[in-house]
């Protein structure tokens, strides 16, 4: 009844049209979704407007996310079973007042029961649906141990850990045996964060479960092993590729699980964080019929995902694209992907490349150029009518030339084949919900070569429930793009060193640090992040 009255209220207040309400009610039938979920999904209503109207309808105040303060005491006060049963989430304990975030509907007597149970003055508050979802993850996920319920299994424990990691946007799950407990850490936005301490006696069965799923030998405990499996939680059905590495240590085996999105989540080039100018220049390179294009940066800088985004941009029915990877991190439709076995030498990058060029490819992606033979074969393929994309470990774009030369590639071949080098890093982005202007410290300004007298203001996150009190939410790239023109080709062929090449392109190529500073001025990231990721440049 309350839902029906809410719909009528939204129509009468002019927030939605009658036909939009009827359409939402039709879509709601046969689902477990609330009316407001459907209205928001269909774009009939915006979150900010909705929570304002909900406040008027129920007579409840809107609770700001920066006031959320979830503590162990608060979680003990309201058991998780009651949170799930009543769909009420503790968000703050202030003196004798217990603030509970709700969705607007609370059954009669629930507040009184909770008041008696907790001995606190219970106050109901409203939050935006997206903010309430973050609170739900904190209350029922991050702040709670993921041990299986009574009668549960190790399989349920692993599922709970992976679901929690996915919900929190983690890229890696680390399981590390300590003397008296199992430490669980998640890598979120590039940094490791402790999230669990589990009983140590659960670990052997948990490792065995992971090994079975990953196709590894459960009896082998003294040698490193690699494997992988596809995790598909029942609650939403979305597949996540899990890549597993098991490493023996003095305290037992350490397990790291890398979580890779399914192919439908491969990002578009325009979503990686490139400026319009750089994006256009990079697309022009990708449009070339042949040549070598490199993406460089340290491990974890997003090189492979940039290549996947490039392949997604290039993928067309009339184009034959073949990749050689170790391992294949994301499977893509319409592309032939070859997985090499580099460690055992059964199928190396160079072996695969020799075979691939006989498969009539238009575009070849080499996951990583690791040795001189692969480098030379990539150059040859680029010079014989193929567009070759690959990655290389160098600090910046210009250093890629010297790296190829160090691998034994002739400079005249590098000059003839190399078309461009994209260097990148990942920086954490400021949480949009708690972003505020800040005055940078003198140390930050000096570290980045900025004028302390300029009085520039930058941005940082204060910390809120939406960003788990970190001030950051998500990551984006900072880039520099070296386009090899005729003048640069001549200098490379003549043996110019890295410093000479850098002097040549200075002023016409924006560096990663400059790109980072531009993003800091726009409030996308912080000066601290720019310093952290460009310290070695």
Count Cα atoms within 13 angstroms, Cβ side, for 355. Answer: 14
Q: Note the pLDDT tens digit of each residue in 28-70.
A: 887 778 888 888 888 888 888 888 998 998 899 999 887 888 7
Q: What is the model's pLDDT at position 33?
A: 80
233 lies in the same domain as 107: no
Span 131-140, mean pLDDT?
81
CA distance 459 to 522: 8
Strand, coil or helix: what is 190? coil
% residues pLDDT > 70 (the chain):
94
Query: At 358, phi and psi to the nearest 5?
Result: -95, 5
pLDDT band at 145 (very low <50, low <70, confident <90, very high): very low
Count Cα atoms within 13 angstroms, Cβ side, for 258. Answer: 14
171 lies in the same domain as 277: no
Residue 142 has pLDDT above 50, yes or no: no
Q: What is the model's pLDDT at position 169?
A: 86
Q: Give the containing element (helix H, strand E) for 291.
A: strand 291-296
Residue 455 covered by a domain: no
The structure tokens 């409030």 sit at 523
User: DSSP strand E in 373-457: where?
Assistant: 387-392, 418-430, 435-438
Apex 172 CA angle, 166 and 178, nearest 5: 115
CA distance 332 to 265: 11
DSSP class of residue 341 equals B
CATH number at residue 327: 3.40.50.300
CA distance 393 to 396: 9
Is residue 154 within 8 Å of 161, Cβ to Cβ?
Answer: no
Residue 324 has pLDDT above 80, yes or no: yes
215 lies in the same domain as 297: no
Residue 150 has pLDDT above 50, yes or no: no
CA distance 533 to 537: 9
Span 393-412, mean pLDDT?
96
Range in 115-119, 203-207, 235-239, 522-526 the model is least confident about: 235-239
pLDDT band at 439 (very low <50, low <70, confident <90, very high): very high
Give the domain range for residue 89.
1-140
- Could you say which of 140, 173, 200 is where a domain stops? 140
Q: What is the model's pLDDT at position 95?
A: 86
Is residue 121 within 8 Å of 96, Cβ to Cβ?
Answer: yes
Residue 521 covered by a domain: no
Secondary structure tally for the chain: helices H, strands E = 21, 18
Residue 141 has pLDDT above 70, yes or no: no
Q: Note the pLDDT tens digit of each residue in 110-127.
A: 888 888 888 899 999 999
Count Cα atoms within 13 angstroms, Cβ side, for 115. Answer: 10
CATH number at residue 128: 3.30.300.160
Residue 439 covered by a domain: no
Structure tokens at 144: 């709670």
Please list the residues that pair with 62 across neighbouring strands: 126
CA distance 450 to 442: 9
Residues with Cβ within 8 Å of 244's Cβ and at least 6 positions away in sequence, in order, are: 210, 211, 213, 214, 216, 225, 226, 227, 228, 229, 255, 256, 257, 258
C-alpha torsion angle, residues 191, 197, 203, 206 (rounded to 10) = -70
Residue 144 has pLDDT above 50, yes or no: no
Span 141-150, mean pLDDT?
45
Q: Note the pLDDT tens digit of each residue in 343-378.
A: 666 788 888 999 999 999 999 999 999 999 999 999
Alpha helix segments (H runs only) across 315-369:
349-356
Alpha helix segments (H runs only) across 341-398:
349-356, 372-383
CA distance 102 to 250: 48
Span 320-340, mean pLDDT?
90
Cβ burial, residue 313 (10 Å; 0-12/13-18/19+): middle
Residue 496 has pLDDT above 60, yes or no: yes
Span 462-490, mean pLDDT?
93
Span 489-514, mean pLDDT?
94
Query: At 37, phi and psi to the nearest 5?
Result: -60, -45
Task: Please give the radius of gyration of the chain, using alpha carbons only, rounded to the nearest integer.
Answer: 27
Residues with Cβ within 8 Å of 403's Cβ and at least 6 positions away in sequence, in order, are: 392, 393, 394
Residue 221 covered by a domain: yes
166 lies in the same domain as 191: yes
Cβ burial, residue 138 (10 Å; 0-12/13-18/19+): buried
Residue 526 covered by a domain: no
Residue 2 has pLDDT above 60, yes or no: no
Nearest to 428 by CA among 467, 480, 456: 467
202 lies in the same domain as 336: no
88 lies in the same domain as 117: yes
Domains identified in the chain, total number: 3
- Could you say which of 259, 278, 312 is where a domain stops? 259
222 lies in the same domain as 290: no
- Could you say which of 228, 259, 290 is where a domain stops? 259
25 lies in the same domain as 94: yes
Residue 463 covered by a domain: no
Residue 470 covered by a domain: no
225 lies in the same domain as 294: no
180 lies in the same domain as 317: no
Span 286-297, mean pLDDT?
97
Nearest-10 crossing angle of helices 2-12, 18-28: 150
Is residue 523 within 8 Å of 435, Cβ to Cβ?
Answer: yes
Is residue 81 within 8 Å of 88, Cβ to Cβ?
Answer: no
Structure tokens at 496: 């110019």
Span 149-171, mean pLDDT?
79
CATH number at residue 167: 3.30.450.90
Structure tokens at 309: 């985004």
Q: Note the pLDDT tens digit of each residue in 229-280.
A: 888 876 555 788 899 999 999 999 999 999 987 665 678 999 999 999 999 9
190 lies in the same domain as 318: no
Structure tokens at 441: 């410290």
Query: At 247, phi and psi to the nearest 5?
Result: -130, 125
Nearest to 447 by CA among 325, 386, 521, 529: 529
Span 452-466, mean pLDDT?
91
Torsion-angle region of residue 169: left (phi > 0), alpha (psi -120 to 50) or beta?
left
What's the mean per-residue pLDDT of the chain? Answer: 89
Span 487-512, mean pLDDT?
94
Residue 434 covered by a domain: no
Cβ burial, residue 279 (10 Å; 0-12/13-18/19+): middle
45 lies in the same domain as 116: yes
């Amino acid at each position: 009844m309350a839902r029906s009255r809410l719909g009528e209220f939204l129509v009468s207040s002019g927030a939605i049209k009658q036909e939009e309400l009827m359409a939402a009610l039709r879509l709601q039938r046969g689902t477990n979704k609330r009316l407001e979920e459907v209205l928001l999904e269909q774009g009939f209503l915006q979150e900010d407007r909705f929570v304002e109207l909900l406040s008027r309808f129920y007579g409840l105040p809107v609770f700001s996310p920066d006031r959320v303060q979830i503590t162990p005491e608060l979680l003990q006060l309201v058991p998780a079973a009651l949170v799930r049963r009543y769909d009420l989430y503790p968000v703050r304990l202030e003196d004798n007042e217990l603030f509970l975030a709700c969705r607007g509907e609370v059954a009669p007597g629930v507040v009184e029961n909770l008041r008696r149970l907790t001995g606190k003055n219970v106050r109901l508050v409203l939050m935006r649906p997206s903010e309430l979802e973050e609170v739900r993850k904190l209350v029922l996920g991050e702040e709670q141990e993921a041990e299986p319920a009574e009668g549960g299994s190790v399989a349920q424990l692993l599922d709970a850990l992976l679901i929690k990691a996915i919900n929190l946007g983690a890229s890696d799950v680390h399981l590390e045996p300590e003397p008296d407990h199992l430490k669980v850490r998640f890598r979120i936005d590039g940094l490791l964060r402790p999230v669990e301490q589990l009983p140590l006696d659960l670990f052997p069965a948990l490792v065995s479960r992971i090994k079975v799923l990953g196709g590894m030998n459960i009896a082998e405990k003294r040698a490193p092993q690699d494997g992988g499996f596809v995790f598909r939680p029942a609650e939403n059905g979305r597949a996540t590729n899990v890549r597993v590495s098991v490493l023996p240590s003095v305290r037992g085996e350490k397990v790291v699980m890398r979580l890779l999105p399914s192919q439908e989540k491969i990002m578009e080039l325009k979503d990686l964080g490139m400026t319009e100018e750089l994006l256009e220049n990079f697309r022009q390179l990708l449009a070339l019929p042949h040549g070598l294009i490199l993406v460089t940066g340290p491990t974890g800088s997003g090189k492979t995902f940039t290549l996947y985004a490039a392949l997604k941009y290039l993928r067309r029915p009339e184009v034959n694209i073949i990749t050689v990877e170790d391992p294949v991190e994301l499977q893509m439709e319409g592309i032939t992907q070859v997985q090499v076995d580099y460690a055992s030498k059964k199928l190396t990058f160079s072996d695969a490349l020799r075979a691939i060029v006989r498969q009539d490819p238009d575009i070849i992606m080499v996951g990583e150029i690791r040795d001189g033979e692969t480098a030379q074969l990539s150059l040859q393929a680029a010079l014989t009518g193929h567009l070759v994309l690959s990655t290389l470990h160098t600090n910046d774009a210009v250093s890629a030339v010297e790296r190829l030369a160090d691998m034994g590639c002739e400079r005249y071949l590098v000059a003839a084949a190399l078309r461009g080098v994209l260097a990148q890093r990942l920086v954490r982005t400021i949480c949009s919900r708690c972003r505020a202007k800040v005055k940078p410290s003198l140390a930050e300004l000096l570290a980045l070569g900025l004028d302390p007298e300029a009085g520039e203001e930058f941005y940082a996150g204060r910390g809120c429930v939406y960003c788990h009190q970190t001030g950051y939410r998500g990551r984006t790239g900072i880039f520099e793009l070296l386009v090899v023109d005729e003048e640069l080709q001549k200098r490379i062929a003549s043996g110019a060193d890295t410093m000479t090449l850098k002097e040549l392109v200075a002023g016409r190529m924006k560096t990663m640090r400059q790109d980072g500073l531009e993003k800091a001025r726009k409030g996308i990231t912080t000066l601290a992040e720019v310093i952290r990721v460009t310290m070695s440049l």
